[in-house]
Structure 1
Amino acid sequence: MLEMFGFLKRKRKKFGPLIYLSEPTILYHTKTEKIILEIIEENLNSNNVILPSDYGLRDISDKIAEVDYLVAVAIYGKFSSLVCREVEKAKKLNKKIYTLDIGKTPQSLVYMLAEGIPEHIKWMNEKETEEFFGQFIAKDFLGSGLRGLFLGYRDHEW
Structure 2
Amino acid sequence: MFNMLGFFRRKKKKFGPLIYLSEPTILYHTKTEKVILEIIEEKLNSNNVILPSDYGLRDVSDKIAEVDYLVAVAIMGRFSSLVGREVKKAENFGKKVYTLDIAKTPESLVYILTEGVPEHIKWLNEEETFEFFNQFIAKDFLGSSFRGLFIGYRDHEW
Q: Secondary structure at the match of 2:3?
A: helix
Q: Provide the TM-score with structure 2 as the length reference.
A: 0.90
Which position in structure 1 is the counterpart of 2:150?
none
In structure 2, runs of 5+ residues without a counterpart are 147-153
Cα offset, 1:56, TM superposition: 0.3
Letter in 2 for 1:42: E
Gaps of 5+ in 1: 146-153
Alignment of 1:2-81 (within 5 A): 3-81=3-81
Relative contact order, higher structure (CA 8 A, sep 6+):
1
How many residues are aligned here?
150
Aligned-residue offset at 1:2: 5.1
CA distance in 2, matches of 1:67, 1:134: 32
Runs of 4+ aligned residues of structure 1 deviating over 6 Å after TM superposition are none
For residues 22 and 97 of structure 2, the distance between their equivalents in structure 1, rounded to whole angstroms, comes to 10
C-alpha root-mean-square deviation of aligned residues, in Å?
A: 1.5
Q: Secondary structure at the match of 2:120?
A: coil
Deviations 1:117-149 (A, max 9, x none): 00000000000000000100010011659xxxx
2:121 equivalent to 1:121:
yes
* Counterpart secondary structure, 2:114: strand
Deviations 1:40-75 (A, max 9, x none): 001000000000000000000000001000000000
Aligned-partner SS, 1:7? coil
The one-character-per-residue Cα deviations of 1:84-128 (angstroms, maximum 9, x if unpaired) are: 010010010000000000012232210111000000000000000
Give identity over the alignment, percent: 81
Q: State the match for 1:151 in structure 2.
A: none
Larger Cα Rg: Structure 1 or Structure 2? 2
Q: Normalization by structure 1: what TM-score?
A: 0.90
Query: In terms of mean alpha carbon deviation, does 97-106 or 63-72 score higher?
Result: 97-106
| d(CA) in 2 for partners of 1:57, 1:15 | 26
SS at match of 2:11: coil
Give the secondary-structure state (helix, strand or coil) at the position aligned to 2:134: helix
Task: Report the residue type matching 1:18 in the other structure.
Answer: L
